Structure 1
């Protein structure tokens, strides 16, 4: 072994240069050694960066594989059997041979406040239930007459439900003949300036809390500033459940996904029915979980988070289902403002739904 003066390391006799500084063993130039040493440090830093990039790339690839695993697990035959057990007989044991016979026994009711809620928020659950050959019903408690477009939005809702697989005979829209804001009626054809003004009014109204009540009018108008009558909404819901022998109800939770007062009013009405025990014994109640804004717009990247966090039911659709939900949303032509396109492209509610069970109180409870 020969001692290298540049790196203070030993090299073998059969090597002409040191492995690190590559100086000849016979001469040593300190200036050249410093330059070579700097080049070595730069190369060492590049290797570290390459290692970090490889680790980051591996983490991203692993995350995407995880998403694929969760998706296929959620859409497996075992997951479908879990759906049926949960929806029909949560307290009973169902044999594997019986699950295929129970698909026709599911009678699901989606409770929405406005036309377009069914595809903006509930499309994954609707498509999964239709895939299971369940009988899916929709009750929309207003016809979206905020800008005097009730008739047009009613037609758009029927077109959207047809795309999602809900027949028109199973779609019910509560009729509210009068517009809640007659001074802000929107004609069928508007100018660019009028469209911009309506968009600003729309955004401002979503941020303003409810200040009025609809108890005196006896109606359920499409208006974020009007607080719906809980007694009237609950009576309409209960009547629809009993008329169609519904055994699964899906609606908003206490925060209403978007914070709209009409959304939260439906949850209050369903919770009221559940608390007094008026819901039939064989009927399950589910509320769509509201998540934060950051998670809300992560699109399919949010799937592992929803899978890890606790929920009673999780619905996931793939690219084919997303295209179908997008087609349903495009049926609502009057609602296709610029921020709705952003919602279609980035919202996780277009492909993922997570639900929580609404607890039911004692049956046939009377309050004096």
Structure 2
């Protein structure tokens, strides 16, 4: 009897989480997503090939869905207004050329064509774990690609994994995009979490909603956005990793794909 109760509880938890997400909490986020991202020109700035799938999959899936909803019947999907800007080839293990192709293949899973994937190979911003890149170097590289952009999406100051390269992009966003008073361009950053929350997959969804919507009421509610992938969208992100980023699929990547909350939920915050 006790064992049966445990099985019922294990089954009920994901069902309840899914129902709360789909019918109660997700509609309010859809409104925020539409008001800030619909018909806007968007640039996602990442540090390495695979960042887009490992960390930003729910965001890219949501933007693709939004584009199809706001342009019904149109052949133009997010490729018309979304580009990925990657600051390095990820050449730490001398796989830069391979990983460049993998990023373009991964982007295709989210409806983004190769022409909208910009990848740099500059000596000032090479893939190194403990290194912070110079913000002026980042500015000189990405600046020309942001001239016509309305919205920038990137890492917060924790860089999700504490990677110095990730955090450098946030420094750039704060110093050059926010610090210089470019109020016409919105900058949204992906929130870093504790180690515990990072590896509890969909179980982190309720806490993410509570912390974003009940602790940030009033005018602040429009400055945060929770994006949750359904089963189909999760599978798309998984395929972007396993089928596109094959050079990165070591044993621990399977753990990330199975356990990471960033595979199923993103919470973005407006700087």
TM-score normalized by the length of structure 2: 0.84
Q: Alpha-carbon deviation of 1:160? A: 0.5
In 2 relative to 1, CA 76–288 (structure 1 residues): closer, same or farther, beyond 3 Å?
closer
Equivalent in the alignment of 1:230: 135
CA–CA separation in structure 1 for the residues paired with 2:254 and 2:9: 30
Q: Alpha-carbon deviation of 1:148? A: 1.5
How many residues of Structure 1 are paired with residues of Structure 2 in the alignment?
Answer: 248
Equivalent in the alignment of 1:362: none
Bigger relative contact order, structure 1 or 2 (CA pairs below 8 A, ≥6 apart): 2
Deviations 1:175-230 (A, max 9, x none): 23xxxxxxxxxxxxxxxxxxxxxxxxxxxxxxxxxxxxxxxx6x211111333111
Equivalent of residue 168 in structure 2, options 265, 277, 293: 265
The answer to whether the 8 A contact 2:32-2:225 is kept is no
Give matches, 1:167-182, under 5 Å: 167-176=113-122
CA–CA separation in structure 1 for the residues paired with 2:146 and 2:241: 26
Equivalent in the alignment of 1:247: 150
Where does the alignment leave 5 or more consecutive residues of structure 2 unmatched? 68-77, 214-223
Q: Please tell me whether residue 318 in structure 1 is matched to residue 224 in structure 2.
A: no
The answer to whether the 8 A contact 1:70-1:307 is kept is no
Is the partner of 1:251 in helix, strand or coil?
A: strand
Q: Alpha-carbon deviation of 1:240? A: 1.5
Deviations 1:43-100 (A, max 9, x none): xxxxxx96x985x777656643431223313786664333122x15xxxxxxxxxxxx
Q: Please tell me whether residue 299 in structure 1 is matched to residue 201 in structure 2.
A: yes
> Whose helix proportion is higher, 1 or 2?
2
In 2 relative to 1, CA 169–305 (structure 1 residues): closer, same or farther, beyond 3 Å?
same
Q: Please tell me whether residue 120 in structure 1 is matched to residue 25 in structure 2.
A: no
CA–CA separation in structure 1 for the residues paired with 2:266 and 2:29: 15
Where does the alignment leave 5 or more consecutive residues of structure 1 unmatched? 1-48, 89-102, 177-216, 359-368
Is the partner of 2:45 in helix, strand or coil?
A: strand
The answer to whether the 8 A contact 1:314-1:352 is kept is yes
CA–CA separation in structure 2 for the residues paired with 1:289 and 1:300: 16
Deviations 1:233-289 (A, max 9, x none): 1233332110xx21111111111001111000010011101343253x432111111
Give matches, 1:44-55, under 5 Å: none
Aligned-residue Cα RMSD (Å) equals: 2.3
Equivalent of residue 268 in structure 2, options 336, 342, 355: 355
Is the partner of 1:274 in helix, strand or coil?
A: helix
Give matches, 1:38-49, under 5 Å: none
Give matches, 1:31-110, under 5 Å: 63-73=13-23, 79-85=29-35, 87=36, 103=38, 105-110=39-44
Is the partner of 1:310 in helix, strand or coil?
A: helix
The answer to whether the 8 A contact 1:298-1:346 is kept is yes
Is the partner of 2:92 in helix, strand or coil?
A: coil
Equivalent of residue 285 in structure 1, options 177, 187, 192: 187
Q: Alpha-carbon deviation of 1:309? A: 0.8
Q: Alpha-carbon deviation of 1:349? A: 0.3
CA–CA separation in structure 1 for the residues paired with 2:56 and 2:265: 9
CA–CA separation in structure 2 for the residues paired with 1:297 and 1:226: 25
In 2 relative to 1, CA 324–62 (structure 1 residues): closer, same or farther, beyond 3 Å?
closer
